[in-house]
Structure 1
Amino acid sequence: MDWKAHVSPDHDSIRRWLPVSWVAVALLLGVLVLGACFQITHRAALADLKAAQENDMRARMQALESVLLRQRAVTTVLADDGLVRRALLEPDQTNRDRVSRKLDGLREQTDSAVIYLLDRNGVAIAASNWDEKVSFVGQDYSFRDYFSEAMQNAEATQFALGTISNRAGLYLSHSVAPDDGGASALGVMVVKVEFDGLERNWANAKARTDVVDANGQIILSSDPARRFVPASAADNMAVTASTDVPGTDWVMTVTGSARPALYAALFATGTAGFGLTLLAVLGGFALRARHRTISRMQAERRYRADLQHAVDERTRALSDEIRERQVVEQRLDRLQAEMVQANKLAALGQITAGVAHEVNQPLATIRLLAENGEALLSTGATSDVADNLSSIRRMTERISRITDQLRGFARKAKGELGAVPLSDAFDAALLLTTRGQGTQHVRIELPPIPSDLRVVAETVRLEQILVNLLQNAQEALAETPDARITVTVEAGRMVRIVVSDNGPGLPEEIAAQLFTPFLTSKPSGMGLGLVISQDIARECGGSLRAAPSRPGQGASFILDLPRAE
């Protein structure tokens, strides 16, 4: 049968040649293909949106958790401060003013909204805003839950509006215990935290962020209009991710629009439909020989226009993605700085008990010498009184050296590199890490370090690395008899510091993921100490790594830093 005899430009001839049943089958297959394309593309796009939402939520959670950890550390340290306790025991104006000035300085360093001290009746006797027109000093806060709960349970947390500022914030409180360890608290230290900065950062993102309390009420939000209203269920065109906020009964929810997934599915379906249509057109070209060339040229022109349009759209999308990634990188830099400070304050919390023990011992000695001196004055033994006064002076110098080092370690790093004496940094780290009750059995072997040996670093951050390494070694030696930490220093163009212990060593599964963020074998660890220390070493132009693991033969960490001329 002649093929050309059955091909005619007449549309009625074409319909007679092609049975209607085949047209119906082709249309049905096309609909099925387009439906499957829409479903598959929509599911994949939703999964990508969900993954991106989870990443955004983790980043925002880390920022919020960093703020909470830092402020809790502030209340804990201040509640054990000798000047604070003295102001409660001897509430004269001089002591109150000293505490107020100290709280004012700490508020700027810790980014707190306000810090204030309440006596056992709930009246503020000192505050960081003591010199402002509207001061908390003299105000009665006994009606606040954070006061009554802290007096009973030592610590409390409350999110509420300020009675004076009328601004919402989180109140963190800690009771101030007496020196003798009595059960009755002397007062309560309170820190108010406001989250305006976090909420502004959240507002810059596309997704909406809400933090809901245990009553289902929104207390923090990227949209200020939603604050203090009940949380509502997300609609069908939204993608949500939620998680509990550690240490609280809050839940963080990040909600974004699901419309991009719908648009992606529609675009893919349209592209597939375009392809199917193109195939149908090409099939028609085979039947319509007279118009084959013209139809092909028209189809190519349409294809080039669509392709150019798709390229332009993709180029714009890539440009937007590049800008978004730059913003995310800047945000991650800020978050990294916050995590470095949070790690430092977490370490500060661990050594607080040891420092308190170290300070209490000379205080007890000072009190005994003073009482002895009073008794000697009545006998006229002036030489013995002079000896007692000399001993008291040495004890106060010892306390001053300890507190100065603790305050310097808590100071926020400025990121400025310089020439740092290595011996001073080791003295500071040893002073902070060898004061706990669990470290007396550990012997530290440290070689003489020349006073003129300097490395390129920042004092606060170098001390942070050394404190992390020494604390890790001490914790590894908790159950080791004849526990020993050995430090070696090799000075060349690079200064190599090796910290080794004779503990059980690193298991293979731990050694393989030693510098992975948020992975830790400690029940109360954050999994950030070694990661942050490694980052600090790199920023100083050096490196931090673990020596090859030798189970049962201890662990060794190698810190290399450039030598300062």
Structure 2
Amino acid sequence: MVATVDSHSESPRLTLRRVMVVAALVLVLVLLLALTFRIAQASATRELTGRLAISAQSRVQTLESVLAKQRVVATVLADDAAVRQALMDPSRANVARVSQKLGRLKEQTSSAVIYLLNRDGIAIAASNWHEPDSFVGSDYSFRSYFTDALDHGEATQFALGTVSNRPGLYLSHDIPQAGHALGVIVVKVEFEPMEKGWAEAEETTLVTDSSGQVILTSQPALRFMPMPPQPAGQVSARLAVPGADWVLWLRASAAEASRAALLAAGTFGFLFTLFAGAGFWALRIRSRTARRIEAERRYRADLERAVAERTRDLTTEMRERRTAEQRLSQLQGEMVQANKLATLGQIAAGVAHEVNTPLATIRLLAENGRQMLGEKDAPEVSRNLSQVLRMTDRIAQITTELRGFSRKATGTLGPVAIKEALDAALLLTASGRRAQDIRLILPEIPPGLRAMAETVRLEQILVNLLQNAQEALIGRPGPEIRVTLRDDGAMLRISISDNGPGLAPQIAASLFTPFATNKPEGLGLGLVISQEIARDLGGSLTAEPPREGEGATFHLDLPKAQ
């Protein structure tokens, strides 16, 4: 009775201890997650700030390049003889010559407008002289870039245009002559394309002048406003623009850093939970040992029953396997025929083209013959009808070869003329070569040279190899297919080469593997079936090792007929 009380008194203590352990683990996990989040957030923020600094440097370099190019334009024009002549003698011819020069420079330098002011601040020439809102005749003496250029030689001012009402940077330079200024040349630069590019980026880009006023921005509403304070949850980069009293600011949301920190903390929490769960699982292993032993005993008993049942089924399975092997052999034969029909479908468009051309010629010549019969011109009629007969023979040749190619193989081997088989394959693939303007190089084949094969299956291999070569030459300059023949006495070797891109190593490794193909609509069975046909004929089909940029070469070896 005492033992029973002790047994029940230990269970609450054990449960309480487990609860305390779990609570301690949860507390440790929370502290570690908070620490991981802080460290990961600081690291991600530093990385984000570094990327912003790189982007700011790129934008500053672009600004610096634009300012330097436009300053050079103003400096060069300040020393231009035609510009100085127009100020000293503002005749219509001189002014027109300068305006045309300024128009050409505007297009070449991507300036917004270039114009020339006399000492009174009146524009006498401008790149937009021929436009309705031309600056010619306007008074700009009130602009600081005009007065400062007269006093100091050159000046800059960012302001809204009085005519165009578009913001831009005005770069001005005086036109010196004998110690005094004849006038001022002004180049206006607009940054609208640059600002549009900034607006498409996720960051906010701001450029302030020496007074802290925003002059360039990816947010047009902030232009000519004081520099706004940095919003909470953002990081920024600041960089001065060389050659100007400008500062470029780049601001971006720090949400990316927070997401990276949350991901790091979540990963750590997952791993911590995984290891903690593994520890608890290890504690439960001992209590499950007895159940596992019993389960293994039952499993062995079930396995023995399964083995007995499997033994009874072996005879049935063997019969089914023999049936499946017979079916597999039948399916292989059907697959060969299916591949032939698929190849026939690919060349059907070319055959249609070959047939349509003679038929159109027949119609035309027949009509000519009917008209010439009316004119009683017998010689002309005879020649036209002879041409009709030749076209008809050509149609008959094409359709005959097509029917022969689609005919199912008999499986009987005999002497087959190499030249006739190759001519038939070339005829069936001719339209594709003409469409690509492929040069064909053929060997001299003796008419009596024969191989032990079957006509239909030999033609199928040759058509497959020629089509593969033609597909490899699509879009290639100077396409060429070369067919060579070698007689080794007992064996004949037909080689088909192209000057295409060649076989990639990964494709060459699985070239004769079923369903391995790099063609979007290919099945990967053409070469596999062709190789099997070559073996059935007592020969072989192989490919030369791939050589980059040297095209592909396939060798068909067949026994020579004596």
Q: Normalising to structure 1: TM-score of the pair?
A: 0.48
Q: Normalising to structure 2: TM-score of the pair?
A: 0.48
Higher gyration radius (CA): 2
